[in-house]
Amino acid sequence: MGITADDIEQMVQLSLLEPVRDAAAEAEMLRVKVSHERSPQQRYQDAYLIATRLTANLGLRGFRLNLAVESAGSYEQLRDLAPKIRDAIGPQKFAVLEEALNS
């Protein structure tokens, strides 16, 4: 296409492009200090933010999974999707979501 690394760097400096962030790092920023007294609704709210960010970064291969996460309206529904999310993103990135769901 004729675009060089310098062209991309200039577009980033002009705020026309934004560097891609690591999904696990973003999820880590959303990590909530958890306690064992959280209600299922609070666990859902905390985990939903993390799950949507993790699955959104899967691109087209995770499109259906991302839609399923966005459609999950309860803690139970999100918890039921957890194994599919773990399979798609790997256990290391999943650890943050698992903590939000289960702690």
pTM of the model: 0.65
pLDDT over threshold 60, residue 33 = no
- Residue 35 pLDDT: 47
| 36 — pLDDT class (breaks 50, 70, 90) | low
Are the C-beta atoms of residues 17 and 11 closer than 8 Å to each other? yes
- Residue 27 pLDDT: 62
pLDDT in tens, 61-85: 889 999 999 999 999 999 999 999 9
- Using CA atoms, how far apart are residues 87 and 9, in angstroms rounded to an integer? 34
pLDDT in tens, 2-11: 788 887 788 8
